[in-house]
């Protein structure tokens, strides 16, 4: 009974327009920052290395390299401080958590890019017509 009540309370604080992203994607996270009485948006871009939790407590971790030093930051997905999440590049990840990227340096940090599957290539090529043979009598 109490689980149902908690689910209803949580549902009111969930965002409806969360961008679909996955582990291994390179994202830009637009965060609202208050400086005095002014509000501005700061962009943190990097690779999503983890997602955890569920409901209003769901978070994701983004990692990037700044001046040769690795920087990781955790964001709650449904926070009002997050203006938007923009997916820049989709990477191939065969694991749920990419913590092994912490030990990597240089080009080995990069992930393979997911290719968008297009059906144009097969439909665009017309089938070759068979040549007719003429028989001389």
Instruction: Identify the pLDDT of residue 103.
Output: 84
Element (H, E) at 60: strand 59-66
The answer to the question of residue 128 being in a domain is: no
| CATH classification of the domain holding 19 | 2.30.30.790
pTM of the entire predicted model: 0.73
Structure tokens at 76: 């709650």
pLDDT digits (tens, 9 = 90+) for 53-76: 888 888 999 999 888 888 999 999
pLDDT digits (tens, 9 = 90+) for 75-125: 999 888 999 999 998 888 888 899 888 888 777 777 888 887 766 655 555
The answer to the question of residue 137 being in a domain is: no
Phi, psi (rounded to 5 degrees) for 93: -130, 130
13: domain range?
Answer: 2-104
Planar angle of CA 72, 53, 100, nearest 5 degrees = 40
Do residues 82 and 33 make contact, with C-beta atoms less than 8 angstroms apart?
Answer: no
Domain count, the chain: 1
* Count of CB atoms situated within 10 Å of the CB of 23: 20
């Amino acid at each position: 009974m109490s689980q149902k009540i908690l689910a209803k309370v949580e549902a009111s604080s969930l965002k409806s327009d969360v961008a679909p992203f996955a582990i291994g994607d390179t994202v830009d996270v637009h965060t609202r920052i208050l400086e005095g009485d002014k509000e501005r948006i700061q962009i943190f871009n990097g690779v999503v290395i983890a997602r955890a939790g569920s409901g209003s407590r769901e978070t994701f971790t983004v990692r990037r390299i700044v001046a040769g030093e690795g920087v990781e930051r955790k964001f709650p997905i449904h926070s009002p401080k997050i203006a938007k999440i923009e997916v820049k590049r989709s990477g191939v990840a065969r694991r749920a958590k990419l913590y092994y990227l912490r030990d990597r340096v240089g080009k080995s940090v990069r992930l393979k890019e997911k290719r968008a599957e297009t059906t144009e290539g097969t439909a665009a090529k017309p089938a070759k017509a068979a040549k007719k043979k003429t028989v001389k009598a």
